[in-house]
Chain A
Amino acid sequence: MKQTDIQFDNNGMLRHFLTIDGLKRKTLTEILDTAENFATVGTQQVKKVPLLRGKTIVNLFFESSTRTRTTFELAAKRLSADVLNINIDTSSTSKGESLLDMLRNLEAMHCDMFVVRHNLSGAAHFIANHVSPHISVINAGDGQHAHPTQAMLDMFTIRRHKQDFTKLRVAIVGDIMHSRVARSQIHALNTLGVPEVRAIAPNTLIPPGTDELGIHVYHDMEQGLKDVDVVMMLRLQRERMSGALLPSEHEYFNTYGITTEKLKLAKPDAILMHPGPINRGVEIESAVADGPQSVILEQVTNGIAVRMAIMSMVLGRQPSGDEQEGRNK
């Protein structure tokens, strides 16, 4: 079975959201259009819609995260779902309970969705393969594999500023090798028809198989940033790096950090993005992070609407007969 088939149910509806790889442009566009509607909920006096009333969503975070977990929680609450945050450090896995036993227990509490963050690549797929038929799984980042909701909120932010994907030149700068964000961004940009996706990084931080990925590799900021519409910075993932891939943070900033000067190489109306958390002075100059071209905080706001869209699409499916039986068990 193809890896992405598991994302759809028997009726061809999105059941899990695990990776962008293999999804069609139509699906991505539908997510962006739906998110556009949810963006207005944040402006209501009562910032809530009753769509997922009575549904229970479990945030299963095996790896620390502030932005992703809180925006998932906020998204679920704005949809009127009940949210359970499970911090794995303090849960019973530390008492020796296996992951599958823990899942069975959560299923026994009649949960409807697991939002999974894990430091191992493939963790969300593994869980999606083992949950009961009525449960949906959303990948909130697995190892170095994928972070599809982050990529979708980035696409949403780009579309709000640039409208037409098929006319864009986008540069992703930094640690592409270790970045699940970059991998998902590249799949999303290519699927949405961006004609030129550039990766700017030292050779040691470029993954193998760049042609298959559909990226043009640059090792030099001066060349790579020239005339781009969107600059997507990545965080330098110190915690994922082993071995001497980089000389020093200082030298990295001099070569691949974004500064006001370097940003001038891009188009004058280029937007600057960063998935957070930002390391000021490591990959991004403070003046740029807080500057007029920065949309970093917009990305955070948009993350709520995009996650609301994905959650409601996945939980709003018409369950098939098999799944109904699973529910009644």
Chain B
Amino acid sequence: MPQQQNVSTLLNAMATDLNSYIAKNNLTNPHMIGIHTGGVWVAEALHAALKLEQPLGSLNISFYRDDFTRVGMHPQVQPSSLPFTVDDQHIILVDDVLHTGRTIRAALNEIFDYGRPASVTLAVLIERSGKELPIAADIAGKKIDLKMGQHIKLTGPDPLKLEIQ
């Protein structure tokens, strides 16, 4: 039986943590960006909870993946959409699961192709074991130790559910 996690409890805790993080670090007028597809779902919830003024951005990182020559083009998800300039802005980057760190590496590269942000804060629903790059979350809904070969997946958008397999 796959284990179930209560997503809305995690999201509430993340919103609280993120609020105090923003206040503590003086991140004025933060701009939120979700990574397709699960990261956008998490970002939508956080964006609403934090009542951010700026519209929500979304990133499709498939053109920045480091495994393109091995796996080729993926079935396409929604295009990237950043309805604001990132120059000199405080960015809150949101994803569902932080695992190897490669997705975040790709997302950072893409963001910098749109401009030079003042700062980037990483918020993830789940930070799991298996890191391959020096990338860590600033805000994590939950940290989980998983064995190699175990997977955690967010399904949604309605309802949002986490499954460990």
CB pair A51 B114 closer than 8 Å:
no
Residues in A whose Cβ lies below 8 Å from that of B81: 40
Instruction: Mark each residue of chain A from 15 to 55: 1 if its CB lies under 8 Å from any CB of chain B, else 0.
Output: 00000000000000010011011111100111011110000
Residues in A whose Cβ lies below 8 Å from that of B109: 50
CB pair A313 B73 closer than 8 Å:
yes
Residues in B whose Cβ lies below 8 Å from that of A44: 113-114
CB pair B113 A318 closer than 8 Å:
no
Residues in B whose Cβ lies below 8 Å from that of A41: 63
CB pair A50 B63 closer than 8 Å:
yes
Residue A104 lies at the interface, judged by CB distance under 8 Å to chain B: no
Using a Cβ–Cβ cut-off of 8 Å, how many residues does chain A contribute to the interface with B? 22
Residues in A whose Cβ lies below 8 Å from that of B62: 37
Residues in B whose Cβ lies below 8 Å from that of A33: 76
Residue of A nearest to B76 (CB): A33
CB pair B113 A37 closer than 8 Å:
no
CB pair A39 B79 closer than 8 Å:
yes
CB of B93, distance to nearest CB on chain A (Å): 17
Residues in A whose Cβ lies below 8 Å from that of B79: 36-37, 39-40
SS of A interface (majority):
loop
Q: How far is the CA of A194 from the CA of B164 in the complex (A)?
A: 45
Instruction: Mark each residue of chain B from 72 to 98: 1 if its CB lies under 8 Å from any CB of chain A, else 0.
Output: 110010011100000100000000000
Residue A13 lies at the interface, judged by CB distance under 8 Å to chain B: yes
Residue A312 lies at the interface, judged by CB distance under 8 Å to chain B: yes
CB pair A316 B76 closer than 8 Å:
no
Residues in A whose Cβ lies below 8 Å from that of B113: 44-46, 48-49
Q: With A37-B63, A45-B115 known to touch, is A316 a contact of B80 (CB < 8 Å)? A: no
Q: How far is the CA of A37 from the CA of B65 in the complex (A)?
A: 14
Residue of A nearest to B112 (CB): A46
Residue B71 lies at the interface, judged by CB distance under 8 Å to chain A: yes
Residues in B whose Cβ lies below 8 Å from that of A317: 72
Q: How far is the CA of A139 from the CA of B79 in the complex (A)?
A: 27
CB pair B73 A316 closer than 8 Å:
yes
Q: How far is the CA of A38 from the CA of B114 in the complex (A)?
A: 14
Q: How far is the CA of A45 from the CA of B82 in the complex (A)?
A: 12
CB pair A49 B63 closer than 8 Å:
yes
Report which of A45, A48, A50, A312 forms a contact with B73, defined as CB distance below 8 A: A312
Q: How far is the CA of A49 from the CA of B111 in the complex (A)?
A: 11
Q: How far is the CA of A91 from the CA of B127 in the complex (A)?
A: 57
Residue of A nearest to B71 (CB): A318
Report which of A39, A45, A313 forms a contact with B114, defined as CB distance below 8 A: A45
Residue B70 lies at the interface, judged by CB distance under 8 Å to chain A: yes
CB pair A51 B63 closer than 8 Å:
yes
Residues in B whose Cβ lies below 8 Å from that of A50: 63-64, 109
Residue B21 lies at the interface, judged by CB distance under 8 Å to chain A: no
Sampled A-B contacts (19; CB under 8 Å)? A34-B73, A37-B76, A37-B80, A38-B63, A40-B81, A44-B113, A44-B114, A45-B87, A45-B114, A45-B115, A46-B112, A48-B113, A49-B64, A49-B110, A50-B109, A51-B63, A312-B63, A312-B73, A313-B72
Mark B residues whose CB is within 8 Å of A.
60, 62-64, 68-73, 76, 79-81, 87, 109-110, 112-115
